[in-house]
Amino acid sequence: MGRRDCAILLLPAKLGLRADEVATLTLDDVDWRASEILVRAKGRQRARMPIPPDVGAAIVAYLRNGRPKSSCRRLFVRTLAPHVGFASGCAITMIAKAALDRVGIEGCAHRGAHIFRHSLATELLRSGATLSEIGQLVRTRTTMSTSMRSDIEPALAGRRAMTDLRSALDKYLSMRKGLGYKYEHQTRRLADFVTFMEKRKARIITTKLAMEWATLPPDRHASWCAAIERRAWVRAPFRQLRSENGGGRPWACCPDGSADVYSDAEIDALLTAALALPPADGLRQRTYHTLFGLIAVTGMRISEAMGLERDDVDLDAGVLTVRLTKFGKSRLVPLYPTTRTALGDYAHRRDALLGSRCGSTLFVAEQGGRLLHQYVHRVFWRLSREIGLRRPGDRTGPRVHDFRHRFAIRTLLDWYREGKDVEQQLPVLSTYLGHACGRDTYWYLSACPELMEEAARRLDWRWEVTPCR
């Protein structure tokens, strides 16, 4: 076990490997002649990395004198029978935590294998390496992601300056990503907000400034609910900052946004309008009809539906496999028979029209490539105007994501009306929707007046109080 754990910990410490990347290494991934190791990285990337001498020596020592006899091709296997590979990176994290505990290291922001990866990036930065060079080593997609690995913060001199905002943002994003959040979109938005504040030479965040940023530019295609959400992004990382005179947080209370809940008639009208999209003999009509219909009946995120691969769809079993979505989670989504039929019909039309030009995804664009988010949203805005959900000049209104809200709210309403114990059922809905924690699902209880009414009726019944009329 000692030789195995030594080799395991050297990989994130010397090469910056993630816990999952270490757990999935196989014997075939090590090229001893070239002194390289193949890493199956995050985001389905693959990278060949040189093996440092000390890492190579540790792996050899483990293979010769520490690895149990096993037919498993994983590089690292369990010491106790059955001698198979680790199920996930969680085992690597536990090995790292145990090692830290043995040597008495406490007070770290990261309590697991990630501390070695974080320390490597920080040490390289202090040694003079650029963020781009560090990013190539630790295989991050953006320079901003790489900067989150370092613990070097801008120096603050004398009076409180705008670097306070950047420092607070860095700390907040590092904390959130350390908890498992991807935060790719939010990272860009929050960096944009800090730039916005710097251009206005504003030293204190006010509600007026936050809402001005949240609704810019004027032609932004977003609803008021989305603007409230963006304002909430700003509130979280910067709420610990005080005003210059030592006062409290410069925030005024603001009501939370609520979701648009589509009626059955509105969804039918939108799907019917999708079947009239040009060209008349193309695949575009069926693509958007099936895509929006699938989101409406399953509550999937738009990114999840667009990212479905052909192999993720098992029509015989009636199950979709949603892989590596928000927070890196995967889940199974069962399908109604009518949904299976609709998906099968779309797949048949797609293959008949495009043949070998089809990409690997379930839903494809007119020429067989992947769908792009901006085009999907533009089609939705067009259809929503055609059926009256938006007026011609409106820049705000219902969103694609509101299909997901509708699914959750309708499910909860059905449970209430059927007399089920909703609180007991909420973890089921939370798992089905792919929520990271239960409070994200609890939000729907206050998002719809009908749900509040049903909850009030339940309380009246429990307290044996006759409602006022």
Q: Which residues are catalytic?
A: 301, 326, 401, 404, 435, 444
Residues 6 or more apart in contact with residue 369 via CB below 8 angstroms: 359
Q: At what angle do helices 224-238 and 207-214 cross, to 10 degrees?
A: 130
Q: Tokens representing 255?
A: 């009501």
Whether residue 234 contacts residue 205, with contact meaning beta carbons closer than 8 Å, is answered with: yes
C-alpha pair distances (Å), 316 with each of 25, 122, 319, 337, 432: 33, 50, 8, 10, 20
For 339-344, the CB contacts below 8 A with 24+ separation are 339/293, 339/294, 339/297, 339/298, 340/315, 342/290, 342/293, 342/294, 343/290, 343/294, 343/313, 343/315, 344/315
Whether residue 39 contacts residue 30, with contact meaning beta carbons closer than 8 Å, is answered with: no
Omega before 334 cis (within 30°)?
no
Rounded to whole angstroms, the Cα distance separating 249 from 379 reads: 41
How far from each other are the two terminal CA atoms of the chain, in whole angstroms? 72
φ and ψ at residue 66, rounded to 5 degrees: -130, -25
Q: Is 222 helix (H, G, I), strand (E, B) or coil?
A: coil
Rounded to whole angstroms, the Cα distance separating 55 from 32 reads: 12
Rounded to whole angstroms, the Cα distance separating 293 from 297 reads: 6
Q: Is 89 left (phi over 0), alpha (psi -120 to 50) or beta?
A: alpha
How many residues are given for the chain?
469
C-alpha pair distances (Å), 13 with each of 35, 102, 107, 428: 18, 17, 19, 39
Q: Tokens representing 324?
A: 């590596």
Sheet holding 30-31, edge to edge: 30-31, 36-41, 45-50
Judged on CB neighbours under 10 Å (0-12, 13-18, 19+), 244 is exposed
